Structure 1
């Protein structure tokens, strides 16, 4: 009955699938797949010191941890640990062991400030606070029923605007990268990112196994990429938007709505039944956009921080 912690065995497909299932049970509002988990592990730069840990009991995985350094932040010493335990295997000590192993790894590599996303439930928040973490910002998960929900009708494009898909940029995705980098820089966050590495973006985003260029929508204005929504799928019936945003020069014109509406309509037509996304709780403009589409909040996480002396 002893719980032990070790690294995920990435060369054992059944274990990677079990790791993915534990994450799905703990947090079903994200598209977890074994292929995505392996991709994230193998395409994160070595400087991130990335690890996936598991808590095991009697041959069964009951908890997981994503651990690493914010390698793309200009401020050194920032680490993250996201701990998820199977809800029906809670209170066995797995979470505490995972936190201990994660913190030892991060501090050994120079981390002085640790960030953790924590499910917004009394027991989860109390657990984080017992381990010395204090609450910071929060973020919502949102869900849209593509079968029974009523999407807004498609809108007419303004003069000079046209819609493209991500597939139209297959030969040269750099314009999409520039748009993604600019909008990500303005996302509310505890950690500042220097999003400048095109090759890393290609590996981590454009070639991500869940990325759907066919369902990704880009609005061009006079030939210039102005707004987009980046789509992912789980290979089944679930669709998610990993990012939706507008270039600073084109904000306030409803272009993000145009991009996302186009993507959602095409996702529904392709047979996807559920749309998922997430927003920082302080990102009121994007929350309003998603409410206009019919999304409803289905869960919340709180960002907790621990500063080491």
Structure 2
């Protein structure tokens, strides 16, 4: 077997997406999305998509880069990421080890001190991480809802002053969506503080993301102000994935996030999606409760592992 690790080429997009879907079945992945993440990564992220090629066949990849954002308690300089994805049919052949070695070598050269990496809660994956010096951090729950049998709550009348719109209604000016998403997203639990960046960065990295569906995304407006949202992602294969649900601080506890998500799920069902997937930090009790109320059931667990690099 001839194994090499190299940088991504545009012609790799379909193969990388296929391997990633097989390795990480609870996320939405498309060839268009793989190519997009390489083209639109912020310059300061120093992003590289490492690809493992075995005898001419792409069998795995590792998106790798520096975490960018505000210097807050949850986001300190010198932190980086890499997520190793290896097609299950090609594991135990040194592919993951080669990808991780190349990723860590690159990040160490950039001066990264801590590397974060997601893994599924399955023995081969967690053992792989722990044997290479990674320790377990925060967890996330993957939940699944069968949209072919789910009895979604009916879309009843809205309270006075409240309206629901699709993402398509903001095509001409999505700035109100950016304001709401960036404000509410900062309160999302986790060991890494999300940073939406500038409006222009958000447009490139989020709004124009190929898997993001404006048709399946819902925004709740209160007195004309975007107050809550539920982002819908899809792979065009019948899968709907929640890309984030939130409510502005000060407006929580009124059922607005649930209202946004219910509309988004109805849109997904009407569009022919057959399953819905959601991932929530284990400390995000409000969102876990909402998803369980809709009928989502546990499908898998994920862990974010971290390792201190000797630089």
Alpha-carbon separation, structure 2, partners of 1:301 and 1:141? 7
Structure 2, unaligned runs of 5 or more: none
The alignment yields a C-alpha RMSD, in angstroms, of 1.3
SS at match of 1:240: strand
Alpha-carbon separation, structure 1, partners of 2:123 and 2:55? 28
Offset, 1:73: 4.1
Q: Report the equivalent of 2:38.
A: 41
Once the two structures are superposed, the pairs formed by residues 219-258 of structure 1 within 5 Å of their partners are 219-258=220-259
Does 1:292 pair with 2:300? Answer: no
Question: How many residue pairs are counted as aligned between the two chains?
Answer: 306
Q: Report the equivalent of 1:21.
A: 18
Q: Report the equivalent of 1:141.
A: 142
Alpha-carbon separation, structure 2, partners of 1:248 and 1:73? 20
SS at match of 1:204: helix
Does 1:108 pair with 2:105? Answer: no
Q: Which runs of 4+ in 1 moved over 6 A?
A: none
Offset, 1:190: 1.2
Q: Deviations over 1:220-259 (max 9, x none)?
A: 1111111111112112322222010000021000100100
Residues 155 and 258, structure 1, Cα contact 8 Å, conserved in 2? no
Does 1:192 pair with 2:196? Answer: no
Offset, 1:153: 2.0
Alpha-carbon separation, structure 2, partners of 1:236 and 1:98? 29
> Taking structure 2 as the reference length, what is the TM-score of the superposition?
0.95
Offset, 1:154: 2.0
Residues 152 and 266, structure 2, Cα contact 8 Å, conserved in 1? yes
Once the two structures are superposed, the pairs formed by residues 119-134 of structure 1 within 5 Å of their partners are 119-134=120-135
Q: Deviations over 1:238-290 (max 9, x none)?
A: 22220100000210001001001011112111211111221111111101101
Q: Select between 193-202 and 261-270 the one with higher mean Cα deviation.
A: 193-202
Query: What is the aligned counterpart of 2:66 among 34, 55, 69?
Result: 69
Structure 1, unaligned runs of 5 or more: none
Once the two structures are superposed, the pairs formed by residues 178-189 of structure 1 within 5 Å of their partners are 178-189=179-190
Offset, 1:219: 0.7
Q: Report the equivalent of 2:48.
A: 51
Offset, 1:125: 1.0
